[in-house]
Amino acid sequence: MNNGDVRIVSLIPSATEILATLGLTNAIVGRSHECDYPPEIQNLPICTEARLNSNAPSSEIHNEVNNLLQSALSIYQVRTDILEQLQPTHILTQDQCDVCAVSLAEVEKAVAKLTRSSPQIISLQPNLLQDVWQDIERVANTFGVDSVKILENLEARVKICQQKIQGLSLTELPTVACIEWTEPLMVAANWIPELVNLAGGQSLFCVTGQPSPKLHWENLLVTNPDIIIFMPCGFDLNRTRQEVQLFAQNPEWQQLHAAKTSRVYITDGNAYFNRPGPRLVDSLEILAEILHPEIFDYGYKGKGWEVL
Protein backbone atom coordinates (compact mmCIF):
# COMPACT_ATOMS: atom_id res chain seq x y z
CA MET A 1 0.00 0.00 0.00
CA ASN A 2 1.30 3.45 -0.88
CA ASN A 3 1.16 5.29 2.43
CA GLY A 4 1.02 8.59 0.58
CA ASP A 5 -2.58 7.76 -0.37
CA VAL A 6 -3.54 6.80 3.18
CA ARG A 7 -5.45 9.28 5.34
CA ILE A 8 -6.09 7.91 8.82
CA VAL A 9 -8.36 9.33 11.50
CA SER A 10 -7.73 7.81 14.93
CA LEU A 11 -10.59 8.12 17.40
CA ILE A 12 -8.86 6.49 20.38
CA PRO A 13 -5.52 7.35 22.07
CA SER A 14 -4.24 3.76 22.09
CA ALA A 15 -4.74 3.46 18.32
CA THR A 16 -2.88 6.73 17.78
CA GLU A 17 0.03 5.34 19.79
CA ILE A 18 -0.05 2.07 17.83
CA LEU A 19 0.07 4.01 14.54
CA ALA A 20 2.98 6.14 15.81
CA THR A 21 4.92 3.07 16.99
CA LEU A 22 4.48 1.56 13.52
CA GLY A 23 5.91 4.71 11.89
CA LEU A 24 2.57 5.89 10.51
CA THR A 25 2.35 9.26 12.32
CA ASN A 26 2.51 11.18 9.02
CA ALA A 27 -0.52 9.31 7.69
CA ILE A 28 -2.73 10.50 10.59
CA VAL A 29 -4.92 13.41 9.48
CA GLY A 30 -7.32 13.65 12.44
CA ARG A 31 -7.61 12.52 16.05
CA SER A 32 -9.95 12.29 19.02
CA HIS A 33 -10.15 15.05 21.65
CA GLU A 34 -8.28 12.70 24.02
CA CYS A 35 -5.37 11.74 21.74
CA ASP A 36 -2.33 13.49 23.22
CA TYR A 37 0.62 11.21 22.51
CA PRO A 38 3.05 11.35 20.83
CA PRO A 39 3.24 15.17 21.08
CA GLU A 40 3.53 15.68 17.29
CA ILE A 41 -0.14 14.69 16.77
CA GLN A 42 -1.45 17.44 19.06
CA ASN A 43 -1.94 19.99 16.26
CA LEU A 44 -4.13 17.67 14.18
CA PRO A 45 -7.86 18.41 13.71
CA ILE A 46 -10.06 17.04 16.51
CA CYS A 47 -12.89 14.80 15.33
CA THR A 48 -14.74 13.99 18.60
CA GLU A 49 -16.12 15.83 21.60
CA ALA A 50 -17.46 14.78 24.98
CA ARG A 51 -21.04 15.30 26.08
CA LEU A 52 -19.94 15.62 29.72
CA ASN A 53 -17.65 17.71 31.90
CA SER A 54 -14.52 15.72 32.69
CA ASN A 55 -13.45 18.29 35.32
CA ALA A 56 -16.42 17.45 37.54
CA PRO A 57 -15.98 15.32 40.71
CA SER A 58 -15.77 11.52 40.19
CA SER A 59 -19.29 10.84 41.44
CA GLU A 60 -20.77 13.48 39.10
CA ILE A 61 -18.88 12.10 36.10
CA HIS A 62 -20.12 8.60 36.97
CA ASN A 63 -23.75 9.76 37.23
CA GLU A 64 -23.54 11.72 33.99
CA VAL A 65 -22.04 8.70 32.20
CA ASN A 66 -24.87 6.47 33.45
CA ASN A 67 -27.55 9.00 32.46
CA LEU A 68 -26.15 9.28 28.94
CA LEU A 69 -25.86 5.52 28.50
CA GLN A 70 -29.36 4.93 29.87
CA SER A 71 -30.81 7.45 27.44
CA ALA A 72 -29.03 5.50 24.65
CA LEU A 73 -26.73 8.42 23.92
CA SER A 74 -23.03 7.95 23.39
CA ILE A 75 -20.83 9.82 25.89
CA TYR A 76 -18.86 11.18 22.95
CA GLN A 77 -19.95 12.40 19.58
CA VAL A 78 -18.16 12.37 16.24
CA ARG A 79 -17.69 15.70 14.44
CA THR A 80 -19.06 14.62 11.06
CA ASP A 81 -18.32 18.08 9.56
CA ILE A 82 -14.58 17.66 10.33
CA LEU A 83 -14.55 14.09 8.98
CA GLU A 84 -16.17 15.34 5.80
CA GLN A 85 -13.36 17.89 5.32
CA LEU A 86 -10.60 15.37 6.13
CA GLN A 87 -11.81 12.68 3.71
CA PRO A 88 -10.13 9.81 5.57
CA THR A 89 -9.44 6.45 3.92
CA HIS A 90 -9.39 4.67 7.30
CA ILE A 91 -10.87 5.31 10.75
CA LEU A 92 -9.49 3.56 13.81
CA THR A 93 -11.88 3.20 16.74
CA GLN A 94 -12.75 0.71 19.49
CA ASP A 95 -15.54 -1.56 20.61
CA GLN A 96 -14.10 -2.27 24.06
CA CYS A 97 -15.67 0.33 26.34
CA ASP A 98 -18.39 2.92 25.72
CA VAL A 99 -17.10 5.00 28.64
CA CYS A 100 -13.51 5.28 27.35
CA ALA A 101 -14.06 6.50 23.83
CA VAL A 102 -16.58 7.06 21.09
CA SER A 103 -18.65 3.91 20.46
CA LEU A 104 -18.42 1.86 17.27
CA ALA A 105 -22.12 2.47 16.57
CA GLU A 106 -21.55 6.23 16.77
CA VAL A 107 -18.64 5.99 14.31
CA GLU A 108 -20.66 3.86 11.87
CA LYS A 109 -23.51 6.37 12.06
CA ALA A 110 -21.14 9.27 11.31
CA VAL A 111 -19.45 7.45 8.41
CA ALA A 112 -22.85 6.66 6.85
CA LYS A 113 -23.45 10.43 6.59
CA LEU A 114 -20.21 11.17 4.73
CA THR A 115 -20.62 12.07 1.07
CA ARG A 116 -17.02 12.68 -0.04
CA SER A 117 -15.38 9.52 1.32
CA SER A 118 -16.25 6.03 2.52
CA PRO A 119 -13.46 5.14 4.94
CA GLN A 120 -12.74 1.63 6.15
CA ILE A 121 -13.46 1.32 9.90
CA ILE A 122 -10.97 -0.69 11.94
CA SER A 123 -12.30 -1.41 15.40
CA LEU A 124 -10.01 -2.61 18.20
CA GLN A 125 -11.37 -4.67 21.08
CA PRO A 126 -8.53 -5.61 23.44
CA ASN A 127 -9.09 -7.26 26.82
CA LEU A 128 -5.68 -8.90 27.34
CA LEU A 129 -2.03 -8.19 26.52
CA GLN A 130 -2.17 -10.78 23.72
CA ASP A 131 -5.10 -8.87 22.17
CA VAL A 132 -3.02 -5.69 22.16
CA TRP A 133 -0.18 -7.48 20.31
CA GLN A 134 -2.75 -8.77 17.81
CA ASP A 135 -4.15 -5.24 17.36
CA ILE A 136 -0.65 -3.93 16.60
CA GLU A 137 -0.19 -6.71 14.05
CA ARG A 138 -3.61 -6.12 12.52
CA VAL A 139 -3.02 -2.38 12.13
CA ALA A 140 0.43 -3.08 10.65
CA ASN A 141 -1.03 -5.56 8.14
CA THR A 142 -3.81 -3.13 7.15
CA PHE A 143 -1.23 -0.50 6.16
CA GLY A 144 1.41 -2.87 4.83
CA VAL A 145 4.10 -2.16 7.43
CA ASP A 146 6.19 -4.63 9.42
CA SER A 147 5.41 -5.15 13.12
CA VAL A 148 7.76 -8.07 13.84
CA LYS A 149 10.63 -6.10 15.42
CA ILE A 150 8.28 -3.87 17.42
CA LEU A 151 6.40 -6.85 18.87
CA GLU A 152 9.63 -8.73 19.58
CA ASN A 153 10.93 -5.73 21.51
CA LEU A 154 7.71 -5.33 23.55
CA GLU A 155 7.55 -9.04 24.34
CA ALA A 156 11.26 -9.11 25.29
CA ARG A 157 10.63 -6.38 27.90
CA VAL A 158 7.78 -8.44 29.36
CA LYS A 159 10.07 -11.50 29.53
CA ILE A 160 12.76 -9.52 31.40
CA CYS A 161 10.19 -8.71 34.12
CA GLN A 162 9.11 -12.35 34.30
CA GLN A 163 12.69 -13.60 34.58
CA LYS A 164 13.62 -11.15 37.34
CA ILE A 165 10.76 -12.23 39.61
CA GLN A 166 11.12 -15.96 38.97
CA GLY A 167 13.02 -16.62 42.18
CA LEU A 168 10.39 -15.01 44.45
CA SER A 169 8.38 -17.23 46.77
CA LEU A 170 4.61 -16.83 47.16
CA THR A 171 5.10 -14.91 50.43
CA GLU A 172 7.21 -12.37 48.54
CA LEU A 173 4.40 -11.63 46.08
CA PRO A 174 2.33 -8.82 47.64
CA THR A 175 -1.47 -8.68 47.30
CA VAL A 176 -2.43 -5.70 45.17
CA ALA A 177 -5.63 -3.69 44.68
CA CYS A 178 -5.64 -1.49 41.57
CA ILE A 179 -8.31 1.20 41.81
CA GLU A 180 -9.74 2.54 38.53
CA TRP A 181 -12.37 4.88 39.99
CA THR A 182 -12.92 6.27 43.49
CA GLU A 183 -16.59 7.21 43.59
CA PRO A 184 -18.09 4.69 43.22
CA LEU A 185 -15.11 2.51 44.07
CA MET A 186 -14.09 0.37 41.08
CA VAL A 187 -11.21 -2.04 40.48
CA ALA A 188 -9.12 -1.95 37.30
CA ALA A 189 -9.61 -5.17 35.33
CA ASN A 190 -9.14 -6.33 31.69
CA TRP A 191 -5.32 -6.40 31.17
CA ILE A 192 -4.46 -4.93 34.61
CA PRO A 193 -4.61 -8.18 36.70
CA GLU A 194 -2.37 -9.78 34.09
CA LEU A 195 0.16 -6.92 34.39
CA VAL A 196 0.09 -7.12 38.22
CA ASN A 197 0.81 -10.85 38.15
CA LEU A 198 3.60 -10.41 35.57
CA ALA A 199 5.16 -7.73 37.80
CA GLY A 200 5.31 -10.06 40.80
CA GLY A 201 2.07 -9.27 42.59
CA GLN A 202 -1.18 -11.05 43.40
CA SER A 203 -4.08 -9.21 41.81
CA LEU A 204 -7.22 -8.88 43.95
CA PHE A 205 -10.96 -8.36 43.38
CA CYS A 206 -11.14 -8.90 39.61
CA VAL A 207 -10.77 -11.35 36.75
CA THR A 208 -8.25 -10.99 33.93
CA GLY A 209 -9.92 -10.07 30.64
CA GLN A 210 -13.22 -9.07 32.29
CA PRO A 211 -14.74 -5.58 32.76
CA SER A 212 -13.90 -3.53 35.86
CA PRO A 213 -16.12 -4.47 38.84
CA LYS A 214 -17.37 -2.26 41.66
CA LEU A 215 -15.78 -2.78 45.07
CA HIS A 216 -17.38 -2.31 48.50
CA TRP A 217 -15.39 -0.57 51.25
CA GLU A 218 -16.04 -3.57 53.55
CA ASN A 219 -14.37 -5.89 51.03
CA LEU A 220 -11.35 -3.62 50.81
CA LEU A 221 -11.08 -3.52 54.63
CA VAL A 222 -11.55 -7.26 55.12
CA THR A 223 -9.17 -8.28 52.33
CA ASN A 224 -6.70 -5.58 53.45
CA PRO A 225 -4.23 -5.64 50.51
CA ASP A 226 -0.49 -5.16 50.98
CA ILE A 227 -0.44 -2.52 48.25
CA ILE A 228 -3.07 -0.14 46.83
CA ILE A 229 -2.42 1.51 43.46
CA PHE A 230 -4.69 4.22 42.07
CA MET A 231 -5.00 4.52 38.28
CA PRO A 232 -8.28 6.41 37.64
CA CYS A 233 -9.44 6.22 34.05
CA GLY A 234 -8.46 9.35 32.12
CA PHE A 235 -6.70 11.12 35.02
CA ASP A 236 -3.06 12.23 35.10
CA LEU A 237 -0.81 12.20 38.18
CA ASN A 238 -2.02 15.55 39.58
CA ARG A 239 -5.71 14.84 39.11
CA THR A 240 -5.22 11.37 40.64
CA ARG A 241 -3.49 12.91 43.67
CA GLN A 242 -6.46 15.25 44.24
CA GLU A 243 -8.96 12.39 43.95
CA VAL A 244 -7.05 10.11 46.31
CA GLN A 245 -6.53 12.81 48.95
CA LEU A 246 -10.32 13.22 49.04
CA PHE A 247 -10.82 9.46 49.12
CA ALA A 248 -8.30 9.02 51.96
CA GLN A 249 -10.42 11.24 54.20
CA ASN A 250 -12.68 8.24 54.79
CA PRO A 251 -12.38 7.48 58.54
CA GLU A 252 -11.66 3.81 57.82
CA TRP A 253 -8.76 4.61 55.49
CA GLN A 254 -6.17 4.57 58.31
CA GLN A 255 -7.17 1.00 59.23
CA LEU A 256 -5.83 -0.27 55.93
CA HIS A 257 -2.50 -2.09 56.05
CA ALA A 258 -1.29 -0.34 52.86
CA ALA A 259 -2.03 3.10 54.39
CA LYS A 260 -0.20 2.22 57.63
CA THR A 261 2.88 0.93 55.80
CA SER A 262 2.96 3.78 53.22
CA ARG A 263 2.38 1.38 50.35
CA VAL A 264 -0.29 3.42 48.61
CA TYR A 265 0.66 4.70 45.17
CA ILE A 266 -0.77 7.05 42.57
CA THR A 267 -0.10 6.66 38.84
CA ASP A 268 -0.73 8.47 35.58
CA GLY A 269 -3.50 6.10 34.53
CA ASN A 270 -4.38 8.22 31.50
CA ALA A 271 -0.92 7.91 29.91
CA TYR A 272 -0.26 4.32 30.91
CA PHE A 273 -2.68 1.83 32.46
CA ASN A 274 -5.93 2.89 30.76
CA ARG A 275 -4.48 2.72 27.24
CA PRO A 276 -4.27 -0.70 25.56
CA GLY A 277 -1.34 0.17 23.29
CA PRO A 278 2.46 -0.16 23.30
CA ARG A 279 2.81 1.72 26.61
CA LEU A 280 1.16 -1.16 28.48
CA VAL A 281 4.72 -2.50 28.67
CA ASP A 282 5.78 0.77 30.35
CA SER A 283 2.80 0.20 32.68
CA LEU A 284 4.15 -3.26 33.51
CA GLU A 285 7.57 -1.76 34.28
CA ILE A 286 5.93 0.89 36.51
CA LEU A 287 4.13 -1.87 38.44
CA ALA A 288 7.40 -3.80 38.76
CA GLU A 289 9.10 -0.71 40.25
CA ILE A 290 6.23 -0.18 42.70
CA LEU A 291 5.92 -3.83 43.79
CA HIS A 292 9.62 -4.73 43.88
CA PRO A 293 11.83 -1.64 44.25
CA GLU A 294 14.60 -3.98 45.45
CA ILE A 295 14.71 -5.56 41.96
CA PHE A 296 13.51 -2.91 39.49
CA ASP A 297 14.43 0.70 38.79
CA TYR A 298 13.39 1.90 35.34
CA GLY A 299 13.21 5.57 36.30
CA TYR A 300 9.45 6.12 36.03
CA LYS A 301 9.11 7.44 39.60
CA GLY A 302 7.92 11.05 39.62
CA LYS A 303 6.71 10.80 36.00
CA GLY A 304 4.51 7.71 35.85
CA TRP A 305 3.95 7.09 39.56
CA GLU A 306 4.52 8.43 43.07
CA VAL A 307 4.04 7.31 46.64
CA LEU A 308 0.92 8.94 48.05
**For every one of its 308 residues, what pLDDT tens digit does the chain have, with 9 covering 90 and above?**
555 689 999 999 999 999 999 999 999 999 998 899 999 999 999 999 876 666 666 667 666 666 655 655 556 788 999 999 999 999 999 875 555 557 788 888 888 888 888 899 999 989 999 999 999 999 999 999 999 999 999 999 999 999 999 999 999 999 999 999 888 899 999 999 999 999 999 999 988 888 889 999 999 999 999 999 999 988 899 999 998 998 899 889 999 999 999 999 999 999 999 999 999 999 999 999 999 999 999 999 999 999 99
- Among 104, 99, 112, 106, CA closest to 77: 106
**How far is 91 from 79, CA to CA, in rounded Å?**
13
Confidence (pTM): 0.90
Given a contact cutoff of 8 angstroms between Cβ atoms, the answer to whether 100 and 125 are in contact is: no
**How many other CB atoms sit within 10 Å of the CB of residue 123?**
18
Beta carbons of 91 and 121 less than 8 angstroms apart = yes
Q: Tell me whether residue 71 is exposed, middle or buried, using C-beta atoms within 10 angstroms of its C-beta: 0 to 12, 13 to 18, 19 or more.
A: exposed
Q: Nearest CA to 145 among 11, 31, 19?
A: 19
**Which domains does the chain carry?**
3-125 (3.40.50.1980), 150-307 (3.40.50.1980)
Distance CA 285, CA 222 (A): 29
Query: Counting Cβ atoms within 10 Å, is residue 102 exposed (0-12), middle (13-18) or buried (19+)?
Result: buried
Q: Which residues pair with 190 in a beta bridge?
A: 208
> How far is C-alpha 234 from the chain's CA centre?
8
CA separation for the pair 60, 80 (Å, rounded)? 28
